[in-house]
Amino acid sequence: MSLVHVRKTVVTVETALHEGGPPLDPPLRVGTALALVRNPYAGRFEPDLLPMMAELKALGKRLASDLVAALGNNPSGIEAYGKGAIVGANGELEHGALWHEPGGWGMREVLGGTKAVVPSSKMLGAVGARLMIPLGHVNASYVRSHMSATDVGVHDGPRPDEILYAVVMATGPRVHARIGGLAAANITGEDGLR
């Protein structure tokens, strides 16, 4: 019997044209893809969470694929990413941590083997809770221009016995990024750091 039962998915895309400076060409696009999943461990302690983590791998790849499609179907055009989870009140934070591998490796596979660690956040939350998810460059964690965040959430979840799992991607750096540091053009891409 499957442990992963999805109630619904949501995909959003935000297009930023400027932030008071000159218009961007092309504009920055930031997208989110999330799923509300029934929490089979809600209200009880389960010592072995690994079976659910394994089953979540297909969902990670599906959400990543849906998001790349929404952002223009160009995996090489994705420059930043992140992931996160909101666990309903009858769960525990560790149920959100189940998303580390499936969410991260789902994006890595769809994007063609990126190098940098996927920034992440998780929390317990009530229905309608919002979560800030950090973003970082897909191939080098020290690229300051791509360090950002966006929020995810839905009006009707997560319910107490649900978990919201999300992936986030962006097509470029922050709007008008200009604080120096390692430039994306100077990434060596060998260790995921620089």
- pLDDT tens for 54-79 read 999 999 999 999 999 999 999 999 99
Residue 13 burial (CB count, 10 A): 15
- The H or E element containing residue 173 is none
**pLDDT at residue 193 greater than cutoff 90:** no
Q: How far apart are the first and last CA of the chain?
A: 43
* CA separation for the pair 85, 152 (Å, rounded): 9
Q: What is the DSSP string of 65-78?
A: HHHHHHTTS-GGG-
User: pLDDT tens, 12-47?
Assistant: 999 999 999 999 999 999 999 999 999 999 999 999
Return the CATH number of the domain spanning residue range 6-186: 3.30.1330.110
Residues 169, 107 contacting (CB under 8 angstroms): yes
pLDDT at 45: 98
**pLDDT at residue 84 greater than cutoff 90:** yes
* CA separation for the pair 119, 84 (Å, rounded): 8
Q: Say which amino acid occupies 12.
A: T
Helix (H, G, I), strand (E, B) or coil at 98: coil
**pLDDT at residue 191 greater than cutoff 90:** no
* CA separation for the pair 71, 76 (Å, rounded): 11
Mean per-residue pLDDT for 141-169? 98
**pLDDT at residue 176 greater than cutoff 80:** yes
Mean per-residue pLDDT for 143-147? 97
pLDDT at 190: 79
**pLDDT at residue 189 greater than cutoff 80:** no
pLDDT at 92: 98
* CA separation for the pair 166, 143 (Å, rounded): 23
As a whole number of Å, the CA-based R_g of the chain is 17
Residue 88 — φ and ψ, nearest 5°? -60, 165
Token pair recorded at residue 181: 């540091």
